Amino acid sequence: MCGIVGYTGTREAAPILLDGLSRLEYRGYDSAGLAIRNGTELARVVKATGKLKNLAEKTDNGRSLPGTCGIGHTRWATHGEPNQTNAHPHVSGNARRSASGPVESDVVGVHNGIIENFEELKQKLLNNGYQFYSGTDTEVVIKLVDYYYKKYKIGPVDAINRMMVRVKGSYALVLMFRDYPGEIYAARKDSPMIIGVTGEESFAASDVPAILKYTRTVYYMGNLECARMIPGSVTFYDLNGDEVQKDTTEITWDAESAEKGGFEHFMIKEIHEQPKAMHDTLNSIIRDGRIDLSGAELTDEILQKTSQVYIVACGSAWHAGMAGQYVIEDLAELPVRVELASEFRYRKLLLEKDALVIVISQSGETADSLAALRIAREKGIRTLAVVNVVGSTIAREADHVLYTLAGPEIAVATTKAYCAQLAAMYCLALQMALVRGRLDPERYTAMIEELLTIPDKIEKVLEDKGRIQWFSSKFANAQDVFFIGRGLDYAISLEGSLKMKEVSYIHSESYAAGELKHGTISLVEDNTLVIGVLTQNDLIEKTTSNMTECKARGAYLMGLTSYGNYSIEDVADFTIYVPKTDSHFVGSLAVVPLQLLGYYTGVARGLDVDKPRNLAKSVTVE
C-alpha cells in the first residue's frame, strides 16, 4: 500500500527520493512527504496532499531541500483522514504542521502498516508528557522510539528493538536520528522492506522498482529485524541487538520492465505482456515435454499422498484459485476448497493432515494471505506459495515455492500476474492428475503441447482489441454490468467483473448463471449490459438460456465464446470470439477481452486506470 524510499550517500537525496516515490505511485496513496538532512543540520520536513507532483512542485523537484540523507513516503490513509498533518514523515516533537524549515525533533520517520495497540501506547506516552498533533498510529510509534531512546539513554538499534517488542501489528519503519547524521535505520514486521547498496550509497524501499534505477543488489529484511544504513553499507540486527549475516539478491529483471515502453498506461502494456508472462512461467516448469516441479521441491510422492487441496488467496489471486479448483477437481479428481484468506484466518477449519494449502499472491506480502500461511504451518499442514516476487515473505515462509515469471507489475489492477497464476495452476493440476493415475501419459503429453500454444493464442486475442475498444465506448456510461457464466466460465466472469469495477468505477457483479433466477434477475432492466462467458461446450446451452431470460427483460447482451460457437450470435447483440483450445485452459484466453473491456471503459470515462481511487497494489494491512 504506502510507499517508502530512503537514501544516504554522496548525491542530493531529495531528487532521488522523489524519483523513487514516483516508481511506487502504483501502490496507491493520498499524500506524500520528504525529510532531508544536510550534514549535521536538523532535518527539514515537507509534505503535500494529493499527487506526488504537488510535493515535487513544493520542493522545486527536490532542489530546495539540500542534503545527502533523507526519507520519503507516499501515504494511503488508514488511521487519520488524508490531509497534510497526517501525511508522513512524522516527528517525535510537537510540530502541528508540515515544516518547510528545520524540525526540532530527535527522531523523524515514515511507516507502512498498522499499529494495532496504538491507543494503549498513545496513552502511555501522554502520561509521560508527550503531545500529539496528528491522528495517525505512525506518530505514536515514532514517539515510542523517542521515549525509549531518551529514557534508557541507548542507541538507535536498542531503542528500535524495545519498540518492536512493545508494538503489536505490522510495520515497515524507516527512521533518522538527530544525533546520527548520515545514518538511516529501518525495522520490519509483516510489511515488505528491502535495502539496496552500491558504491558509497545505500537505499531503503518498500518495493524494488523504487531503487532499481540505482542498484540491483538488495537485501530482503527478515521479520523483527532492524537495519543501520550508512553510505555504501548496511548492518542487520535481531531483537537481541546481535548482528545478523544476510546474503544479497541480484534483481535480474530489466528496469525497462517497470517503464511504460510507449504504451499510454501500464495496464495496457501489461495486458500485452501476458503472452510473455505465460510463456516464461510455463517454460520454467515444463522441461522436455513434462512438468518438472523439482524447483518447488514438490515430489510425485507428495502429490500422490495429498488428500485435499485448500487454495487461499485474495482478490484476483482468489479468482485464479477458483479457476484452479475447477481444473484440479476435473483432472486430478482431488477435492479442492478455495478460501478467501481474510476468512480462512478466522475460521476454525478442520484441515486434514495430508492436505496441501496453496497460497497465491502476486506480491508475496499480502497480509491476510501471509496470516493464513502461518496458520496452516502452525497446524503442521504442508504449504505451497505461488508468488511473483522472489524473496518475498510468503515465498520465504512457505514449505514450497512455485514462482510465476510475470516480471514487475505496476498497474494496480492485475493482468499479467493473474495470467501467470493460471499457468501455474494448470501445471499443478496436470501433474497431480498424472501421478494420481487420473490422466494417461498420452493425454498428459497432448495437454502439455496444447498448453504451450496458449501464449500465441493470447496474441491472436489481442489483435481484436479494436472491436472491444469500440464496444467499451458505446457502454462507457453504463450504470450496472452483470457477468454470468457456469463452471470455469463463472470463475473467469468473477475476474472480468472485478476488472470492470476496479478501473471504470461502474457497478459490476458476477453471478453463476443458474443463480440469476434466485433474485438477481430483478435488477435487469432496459439496456442493462449482461456479459455471458460461454466457452465450456457442455454448459453453453444452459448459459445461453439464462442470457435469453435477461434479454426478455430488456438487457443488452454481449457474448464471449470460442470460434465455432456462432449460434451465440442468434442471442447476443455483440459477440467476441477467442481461439479454440482445451476447455481447461480457455480461461487464459477468455479473460483477455474482459481485461480490455475494463481498461477501455475506464479510459473512455477519463479515469486513471493505473491508479484507481482507494485501491493499492499490495494490501499489506488487514
Give the domain 258-452 fold.
Answer: Rossmann fold (3.40.50)
Lookup: cell for 621:
494491512
What does pLDDT average to in each consecutive run of 10 residues of the chain (622 residues)?
Answer: 90 96 78 93 92 92 94 82 87 64 84 90 94 92 96 96 93 95 94 92 92 91 94 95 91 66 87 95 95 94 96 96 97 96 83 93 90 93 94 91 91 94 98 96 97 96 92 89 94 96 93 77 79 92 86 88 90 94 97 96 92 66 49
Which one of 3.30.70.100, 3.30.450.40, 3.90.79.10, 3.60.20.10 gives the CATH number of domain 3-251? 3.60.20.10
Query: Could you list the active site residues?
Result: 2, 617
- 112 with 174: CB under 8 angstroms? no
Residue 536: closest CA among 612, 615, 599, 589:
589
Q: What is the predicted pLDDT for the residue at 616?
A: 56
Residue 126: CB atoms within 10 Å: 12
Q: Which of 595, 559, 561, 593 is nearest to 580 (CA)?
A: 561
Instruction: Tell me the C-alpha distance between 210 and 288, whole Å.
Output: 38
| Helices 137-151, 118-127: inter-axial angle, 10-degree rounding | 50
The answer to whether residues 409 and 305 touch, using CB atoms and an 8 Å cutoff, is no
CA 494 to chain centre: 18
- pTM score: 0.73
pLDDT value at residue 143: 95
pLDDT at position 98 is 44
380 Cβ contact list (under 8 Å, min separation 6): 353
What is the location of CATH 3.60.20.10 in the chain? 3-251
Selection from 180, 176, 193, 190 nearest residue 236 by Cα:
193
CATH superfamily for 463-610 is: Glucose-6-phosphate isomerase like protein; domain 1 (3.40.50.10490)
Contact by Cβ (8 Å): 136, 73: no
Start-end of H helices in 64-174: 118-127, 137-151, 156-166
What does DSSP assign to residue 463? Answer: T
Residue 476 near residue 604, CB atoms below 8 Å: yes
With beta carbons less than 8 A apart as the criterion, state whether 510 and 532 touch: no
Q: How far apart are CA 138 and CA 1, in angstroms?
A: 15
Least Cα distance to 312 among 368, 267, 352 occurs for 368
User: What gap in Å lies between CA 278 and CA 452, rounded to an integer?
Assistant: 9
Residues of the chain with CATH 3.40.50.10490: 258-452, 463-610
Q: How far apart are CA 169 and CA 392, in angstroms?
A: 19
Where helices occur in 337-378 by DSSP H, the ranges are 341-344, 367-378
- Rounded to an integer, what distance in angstroms lies between the CA atom of residue 6 and that of residue 151? 27
Task: Please give the DSSP secondary-structure letter assigned to residue 76.
Answer: -
